[in-house]
Amino acid sequence: MPMVSHCLVSPVFSPSVRILRRGRSYTLGRDPGSDFPLPSEHVSRRHAIVQWVREGEGGQRGEGRFAIRDLGSRNGTRVNGALITEHLLADGDSIWIGPFQLKYRVYTGDIGNLLEEAQSDFSITTDLPRATLEQTPRRGSLGGRFAGGELLEICQLIGLNEKDGVLHVQAGAEQGLLAFRRGQLIRARCGELRGEEAALRLLALTDGYFEFLAGPAGEQECVLAVEGLLMEAARRRDESGGPDLRQAGARPAG
């Protein structure tokens, strides 16, 4: 009998295909201790849970399947475009949690083939609130105003799509830049700060303007993985109380 694998698939994971074990429950959320951490201000600390449930009535146990349940999150959980409280998952279901898209797959065969499929299945995994991202006249650039945690979403987009370019940020007297090569941060400056501390200082900003210029990123001064950096930025926001996105002017995703 061929082996059947239950999987969650997303480029935000490393590797992009994660196998779910029958009988287990998996938490998804902004908390770094989640089974599937999703670093975004639009994701609640404990956002949703994927768990194995038994089917059948009258005490008869069916074969069972995985279900996803929203844990009272602020921005909700969507499956195939619809807000859900709880949903029995089927092969191919598209799950949106904040700016992150995940797919549920029930796969028979070589899991390596699913890994290859995942590389082409996601073109953009972050759905930013486009009302705040206005195209600028300069060719190859994207810019506008950010609010709340949207700067983290912009960096997530750059990292997941392995972009080259320089992100310029200004908020009042604070200004700086983040340079990316193939989605990795290779230079960060904010005033006198350099490297990781400069990047974290910029990512702590909640109201300002940005411009991303796609193209050569320039000289390399550091090498920082974007995913880890965003997790640390989200952790620091949590410890400091973090901004309420509704008061900061950000439009909730979904």
Q: Which domains does the chain have, with CATH numbers?
A: 4-121 (2.60.200.20), 130-248 (no CATH)
Q: What is the pLDDT of residue 63?
A: 72
Tell me which of 33-42, 68-77, 183-192 is least confident: 33-42
CA distances in angstroms from 128 to 134, 173, 198, 234, listed in the order given = 11, 26, 24, 17
- Averaged pLDDT of the chain: 78
Q: What is the pLDDT of residue 132?
A: 32
**pLDDT exceeds cutoff 70 at 143:** no
Pick from 21, 50, 46, 16: which is nearest to 34 by CA?
A: 46
Q: What is the pLDDT of residue 13?
A: 77
pTM over 0.75: no
Share of the chain above pLDDT 90, in %: 30
- Give me the mean pLDDT over the 92-108 stretch: 87
Q: What is the pLDDT of residue 48?
A: 97
Name every residue whose Cβ is closer than 8 Å to that of residue 129 and which is 6 or more positions away in sequence.
150, 250, 251, 253
Q: Which of 80-94, 96-110, 111-125 is predicted most confidently?
A: 80-94
Over residues 180-218, the pLDDT tens digits come to 998 899 999 998 999 999 999 999 988 887 878 888 888
Tell me which of 35-49, 67-81, 237-251 is least confident: 237-251
